[in-house]
Structure 1
Amino acid sequence: MAATGFNKQRGITLIGLILVLAILGFLGILGMKIVPTYAEYRAVSSAIVKAKGAGSTVKEIQNSFDKSAEVNYISSISGRDLIISREDGEMQVSFAYEKKIPLFGPASILLEYEGSTAKGGAPKSGKPGQ
């Protein structure tokens, strides 16, 4: 019996494998740089809720946040950077900050984080420094 067709091999080539591994490696490194900044953002969000409950004046809220920041290794923002306002007779605490992550050469990623204890969730007074 004669073979009527060739068996075609299917799979990934060595160059394809190298490209896939390079892309996965880049995404892994990117993830390792972004995840800690997101974890810090979550810690900041929790700290402002705790600070709002711990104080009734701007200074008390700032001091409470600074204590939480020290315990939770928050370095991107301090109590001075918080936006504290009174809305509907209640103190609201907001924040907004940017985190720049260098990648390689002149390339970097800019992440903008913001949050608030207000029901709308966004800072009411704008970003600090603007």
Structure 2
Amino acid sequence: MHKQRGITLTGAILGMIVLAFFGLFAAKLTPAYIDFFAVKKMLNAMEAQGDTKGTVRDIRVSFDRRNSIEGVQAVRGEDLEITKEGGEAVITANWSVRISMIYNLNACLDFTATTAK
């Protein structure tokens, strides 16, 4: 007699449930990470184009102008922390996102994007 090998129906269903669970997490968390990378891209572009050399108000307006294109809802120009270090402006954006996953399970994500090297 040959021993049969393979996956059972129960094993396949459990495997699909686990994959669906992780797929749900990935689908719900992806927009928050897209916003994070968009903010980093905006800050890097501002630094590359010299928009960090103006006044605090100019920096905030420049960020808001770029944000109107990117459409990030979590961070606005007024939320930026702007400091001077070594004669250069350092722009930091800190924000938290709370995402409802399932029932009463939430994911709390803290993001920090900065122009500091």
TM-score normalised by structure 2 residue count? 0.90
- Opposite residue 27 of structure 1, the aligned amino acid is F
User: 1:18 aligned to 2:13?
Assistant: yes
SS in 2 for 1:54: coil
Runs of 4+ in structure 1 off by over 6 angstroms are: none
* Correspondent of 1:45 among 18, 40, 46: 40
| Alignment partners' CA distance in 1, 2:3 and 2:80 | 64
Helix, strand or coil at the partner of 1:29: helix
In the TM superposition, residue 79 of structure 1 has moved relative to its aligned partner by: 0.6
Whether 1:68 aligns to 2:66 is yes
Q: Deviations over 1:72-101 (max 9, x none)?
A: 010001111111001000111011111111
Identity across matched positions, percent: 32
Match of 2:103 in 1: 105
| Displacement after TM superposition at 1:50 (Å) | 2.9
Partners of 2:95 and 2:116 in 1: CA distance = 17
Counterpart position of 2:26: 31
Which stretches in structure 2 are left out of the alignment for 5+ residues?
Answer: none
Contact 1:63 1:79 in 2 (8 A): yes
Name structure 1 gaps, 5 residues minimum: 1-5, 120-130
TM-score (norm 1): 0.82
Q: Which structure carries more relative contact order (alpha carbon 8 Å, separation 6+)?
A: 2
Q: Is 1:54 equivalent to 2:61 in the alignment?
A: no
The structure richer in helix per residue is: 2
Match of 2:79 in 1: 81
SS at match of 1:50: helix
Deviation at 1:51, TM superposition (A): 3.4
CA distance in 2, matches of 1:31, 1:70: 26
Deviation digits for residues 4-29 of structure 1, max 9, x if unmatched?
xx321111111110110011111112
